[in-house]
Amino acid sequence: MAEQPYAIEMRGITKTFGSVVANKDVNLTLKKGEILALLGENGSGKTTLMNMLSGIYAPDKGEILVDGEPAVIASPEDAKRLGIGMVHQHFKLVDVFSAADNIWMGKSGAGFSLGRDRYQEVADTAKRFGFDLDPRKKVESMAVSEKQTLEIIKVLYYGAKVIILDEPTAVLTVQEIEKLFGVLRRMKEDGHSIIIITHKLNEVLDVSDRVAILRKGEYIGTVDTASTNEQELTEYMVGRKVDLNIDRPVVEKTRPLLEIRDLTILNDEGATAIDHVNFYIRGGEILGVAGIAGCGQRELCEAIAGLRPIQSGQMIHKGDNIVGLSPKAILDKGISMSFIPEDRLGMGLAPSLSITDNMLLKNYGDSKGPLVDRKLGRADAEHVIEELGVVTPSTETPVRLLSGGNVQKVLLGREIKAGPNVLITAYPVRGLDINSSYAIYHILNQQKQDGVGILFVGEDLDVMLALCDKIMVLCHGRMMGVVHAHKTSKEELGLMMTGALDLSNKYEDKPAGIARDTNIVPDQPEDEGKEA
């Protein structure tokens, strides 16, 4: 063989979980010194495939060649020995350990005692690859991007030549993503081979040399990045032509339905999560909330839904103060909140209960007598299944057995069924494939056209720019300003998200966030009277 062997070659890999085929006869090649993007929708088997490379799963069938030699990767230890390292989507770090200790604890033959030199050693590794890292810093006090850097250094320290990154950009801002890509390019020049898992097309085109595409566990093919484009990649990924435009219907806006004034909220640790924030939502508009993970979105949503006590400030719904009301009372006023947490099931749904039972979650108490009216729930379940096209064997199927897209449709369906006038939705498309995401956007737009005011907490700036009317940016709990979606740019939002740009005091005559076009000003007597 004259040709240089591949760094990694996977042949005919099949992996099943029960009857679910996660990977079917997948072939993948990784050249030395290239960046390969692994593209596919959620549930297409990207992570499963990579987990087999890093020794977490064993393939049911097929073989893996490393540097042209057949290899058995039965454990992460094996992978480490073969020079394969993976940076997982959810970081595997010990919070109370320093950066150096997190790296050092996985080192084989590190000896029994903790030497002082470990800090120097780790710092040297970081410097060698051009990273800036304080080896004594504890993980718990690190920002997300720092943690990711630490994970990458860890992998490099163990001498990995093949580095796999699972959705590394999901938690980063635009500027941080640029920085990460710079690092990846430098590593490539150093002779490392990199696989980056993602479903964001612009990133694929930006950073990769080749793109391998998976669809529903099957290997579709590998193309050179230089010779392809977004539309083509989407078709490979979804299997047919997809319209990538998101509608933004223009709807006549009503007066503000929900106004937040000077709101301050503490997080679970007692630190300020939301710091004197002002904004309002009108009927017939979608207000986006952008910010890096953990900048107070969750606390804000919980406070509005009455699940978290507030420190100070006012929340006014149609002229009534809702501060201090019970979650149920707020619900009855027509404020509906759905928050999709990272595990996607933790809040809003009871995973082991049936769709019917989940439909009843918020109104089971409305029926008379001590019994639960399941007929009502079943009718609602049937309605939502039909309206939103939920794929399920029956209304009595436990929600955890449904796929992610269907779970989220059930959740959103229940919220909409209640006929809210303010809909708060956080990460409604988290982890969904393109089709399901567009179905959700469509549902939100329909609600908007029906005059509902929508607060949309999102993570994909491209989507928010296309879908929202206005976007509010939070940074460490402080509002950096509200911008019109059609007048701003990703770069501007990115700067605001990191706190580098503060537009909240742009209009000096008006208080921050109570934007130009509100028709209720704080000192309007009509409102004050009602609050008292």
The site for other proteins (CB under 8 A) is made up of 11-12, 14, 16-19, 21, 24, 58, 60-63, 74, 305-307, 326-328, 331, 337, 339, 345-353, 357, 360-362, 364-365, 370-372
Block residue for tokens 């804000």: 300
The three-state secondary structure class of 261 is strand
* Closest approach of other proteins to the CB of residue 47, in Å: 17
With respect to other proteins, which residue has the nearer C-beta, 86 or 335? Answer: 335
As a whole number of angstroms, the distance between CA 196 and CA 37 comes to 5
As a whole number of angstroms, the distance between CA 267 and CA 51 comes to 34
With respect to other proteins, which residue has the nearer C-beta, 37 or 399? Answer: 399
* Closest approach of other proteins to the CB of residue 333, in Å: 12
Pair of tokens at residue 210 = 């080749």
Q: Is the dihedral of CA 41, 45, 48, 54 positive or negative?
A: negative
As a whole number of angstroms, the distance between CA 398 and CA 52 comes to 29
Residues in the chain: 532
With respect to other proteins, which residue has the nearer C-beta, 93 or 301? Answer: 301
With respect to other proteins, which residue has the nearer C-beta, 176 or 299? Answer: 299
Please state, in angstroms and as integers, the Cα–Cα distance from residue 482 to each residue in 295, 476, 502, following that order.
Answer: 16, 15, 10
* Closest approach of other proteins to the CB of residue 331, in Å: 6
* Closest approach of other proteins to the CB of residue 326, in Å: 6
With respect to other proteins, which residue has the nearer C-beta, 356 or 436? Answer: 356
Closest CA to 346 of 400, 391, 393: 400
* Closest approach of other proteins to the CB of residue 273, in Å: 17
Q: N- to C-terminal Cα distance for the chain?
A: 84
Would you list the DSSP string of 265-282? EE-TTSSEEEEEEEEEEE
Q: Left (φ > 0), alpha (ψ -120 to 50) or beta: where does 43 sit?
A: left
* Closest approach of other proteins to the CB of residue 254, in Å: 26
With respect to other proteins, which residue has the nearer C-beta, 33 or 398? Answer: 398
With respect to other proteins, which residue has the nearer C-beta, 179 or 328? Answer: 328
* Closest approach of other proteins to the CB of residue 69, in Å: 14
With respect to other proteins, which residue has the nearer C-beta, 332 or 462? Answer: 332
As a whole number of angstroms, the distance between CA 141 and CA 118 comes to 20
Block residue for tokens 């498309």: 429
As a whole number of angstroms, the distance between CA 427 and CA 447 comes to 17
> Starting from the edge strand earliest in sequence, which strands make up the sheet with 256-266, in order?
272-282, 256-266, 312-317, 320-321
Please state, in angstroms and as integers, the Cα–Cα distance from residue 499 to each residue in 96, 262, 278, 502, following that order.
Answer: 27, 19, 17, 7
* Closest approach of other proteins to the CB of residue 252, in Å: 32
* Closest approach of other proteins to the CB of residue 428, in Å: 15
With respect to other proteins, which residue has the nearer C-beta, 67 or 373? Answer: 373
* 8 A C-beta contact, residue 278 and residue 261: yes
* Closest approach of other proteins to the CB of residue 304, in Å: 12
Pair of tokens at residue 236 = 């490979």
